[in-house]
Amino acid sequence: MSDRIEPLPRKRAAATMLFTDPAGCVLVVKPTYKRRWELPGGAVENGESPSAAATREVAEELGIDRAAGALLAVDYVSAGGDRSEGLIVVFDGGAIDDPACLRLPADELSDWAFVAPARLADYLPPRKARRARAGLRARADRRAIYLEDGHPR
């Protein structure tokens, strides 16, 4: 019998906000350090709640002061390739009526676009496109959803 105690598992956590324009198109941003587009958001820091992280990241990335709205989805992301397993929390960011308010940090983001839900796969990796579409459904249904790699369970 061993007295060795195994360490607790560690998972990364990130938080995003789902923004739309008045027509229902989804806001995506283009990082300078990645090939594909993303939803606005980022890593949850130590001692920070997912809601606070989403609010902070949106202020840093978009230059807007918008508190995280209703919880839309929690997505378990399995490990694979260059990614570790983790949890992604998606909050409702609401509508952006005037995109002129967006101020991207040039060292982190090079562009933004509002994308029709049917075209999200042209911008986002498959699991992220599924996550965004699930967030739209959750917003419409007014009910949060649990996902695994973007798939409803």
Give the model's pLDDT for residue 133: 97
In the prediction, which pLDDT does 87 show?
A: 97
> Would you call 58 helix, strand, or coil by DSSP?
helix
Query: Does residue 69 lie within any of the structural domains?
Result: yes
Domain that holds residue 147: 12-152
Is residue 39 within 8 Å of 117, Cβ to Cβ?
no
Classified as helix, coil or strand, 118 is helix
Question: CA-CA distance, 138 to 144, in Å (whole number)?
Answer: 5
Q: Is residue 5 part of a domain?
A: no
Buried b (16+ CB within 10 A) or exposed e, 119-145: ebeebbeebbbbbbbbbbebbeeeebb
CB 12 within 8 A of CB 78: no
91 within domain boundaries: yes
Which ranges of the chain have pLDDT less than 50? none
Q: What is the pLDDT of residue 75?
A: 97
The answer to the question of residue 104 being in a domain is yes
Token pair 């060795």: residue: 4
Instruction: Report if residue 1 sits inside a domain.
Output: no
Distance CA(43)–CA(130), nearest Å, equals: 20
Evaluate whether residue 109 is within a structural domain. yes
DSSP state at residue 6: P
CATH of the domain at 46: 3.90.79.10
Number of domains making up the chain? 1
Q: What is the pLDDT of residue 2?
A: 63
**Closest by Cα among 100, 110, 107, 130 to 26:** 130
In a domain, 7, yes or no: no
> Is residue 4 one of the residues assigned to a domain?
no
